[in-house]
Amino acid sequence: MLYIKALHIIFVVTWFSGLFYIVRLFIYHTEAEQRSEPEKSILQSQFQLMEKRLWYGITWPSAVLTMIFGIWLITKMGLWSAPYMHLKLTFVFFLYLYHFSCQHIYNKLKQNNVKYSPTQLRIWNEVATLFLVAIVFIIVVKSMNWIYGLIGLVLFAVMLMLTIRIYKRLRTKNKD
């Protein structure tokens, strides 16, 4: 059982690494849109190659293997009826929706159809961070006061958004 748990954790880590980095590549890809030719085409071509390798070589396989080992672990440990597991699985469900939305962005950028600003993508990148924090706290603490947990998550989200706002101001200030 410990081998299953170890493999589940390994693939969760690689999945999150892929989710964090793919959106970072989306940001760079989108920022390249502001460059002039031929730099724009060269950069976007390189980012498309990097996105493809990361997305299909690491992120998707890790998402699938996370699910396989997670289901195996929950079944083997008999945790289907544990209340904290229902909450965790709800967050995991929304994490997969996030993953699918990243697939949508990936498909658009593959066609050089840039719909989002770098700032919007930076904010989007932090959504995965919120899922990570929520899921880890749920699985480690198991029996927390949900009101305090929700307040903590909201405060953490506000802190992340303030950090993005400060970063944007600093970048704008440094460009001047």
**Inter-helix orientation angle 60-77/83-110, to 10°:** 170
130 neighbors 160 (Cβ within 8 angstroms): yes
Structure tokens at 103: 């697939």
- Cα–Cα distance for residue pair 105/17, rounded to 1 Å: 17
126 neighbors 160 (Cβ within 8 angstroms): yes
Task: Look at residues 73, 48, 51, 54 and name the one whose alpha carbon lies nearest to residue 15.
Answer: 54
- Cα–Cα distance for residue pair 28/23, rounded to 1 Å: 9
Residue 8 labelled as part of a binding site: yes
DSSP character for 144? Answer: -
Residue 5 labelled as part of a binding site: no
Residue ranges of the annotated binding site for heme are 8, 88
| Residue list, annotated binding site | 8, 88
